[in-house]
Amino acid sequence: MVSRRFFYCYLVLVLALTSTLHAAEWYKGELHCHSMWSDGNTLPELAIDWYRSNGFQFMSLTDHNVLQLDPNKWKAGVDSALIEESRKKFGDDFVETKEEDGKTLVRLKTIHELQGLFNKEGSFCLIPGHEQNTGVAGRTLHANAINISKSIPFPKNFPSIPEAALSWRKAALENAAENGNVGFWILNHPEWPYFDVTPEMLIETPEIDFYEWNISSPASHDPIHPDHPTYEKFWDIVNAFRILQGNKPIYLAAADDTHNYRSFGHNSVNPGHGWVGVRSEKLEANALFQAMRNGDFYASNGVELKEIRFDKDTGTLFVEVKPEEGVFYSIRFVGTRKGFDTSTRTFEDPQVGKKPGRVAKTYSSDIGITFHTVAGTSASYQMTPDDLYVRAVIASSKKLKYRDGNEPQTMTAMTQPYLPATKQ
| 323 contacts: CB under 8 Å, gap ≥ 6 | 329, 377
Express as a percent the part of the chain with pLDDT over 90: 82
Burial class for 83, CB neighbours closer than 10 Å (0-12, 13-18, 19+): middle
Dist. CA 261–CA 248, nearest whole Å: 37
Cβ proximity of 241 and 261 under 8 Å: no
Over the stretch 294-305, which tens digit does the pLDDT of each residue have?
999 999 999 999
- Structure confidence at residue 21 as a pLDDT band (50, 70, 90): very low
Domain 23-73+108-423: state its class.
Answer: alpha beta
Residue 73 — very low, low, confident or very high, per pLDDT cuts 50/70/90?
Answer: very high
Helix (H, G, I), strand (E, B) or coil at 318: strand
| Other residues' Cβ atoms within 10 Å of the Cβ of residue 159 | 9
Q: Are 247 and 206 in contact (CB under 8 A)?
A: yes
Q: Is the pLDDT of residue 6 over 70?
A: no
Which of 19-33, 125-139, 195-209, 267-281 shows the lowest per-residue confidence on average (mean pLDDT)? 19-33
**Residue 348 pLDDT > 50, yes or no?**
yes
Confidence band, pLDDT 50/70/90 cuts, at residue 2: very low
pLDDT of residue 400: 79
pTM given for the model: 0.92
Mean pLDDT lowest among 63-67, 260-264, 296-300, 362-366: 260-264
The pLDDT tens digits of the residues spanning 211-221 come to: 999 887 667 77
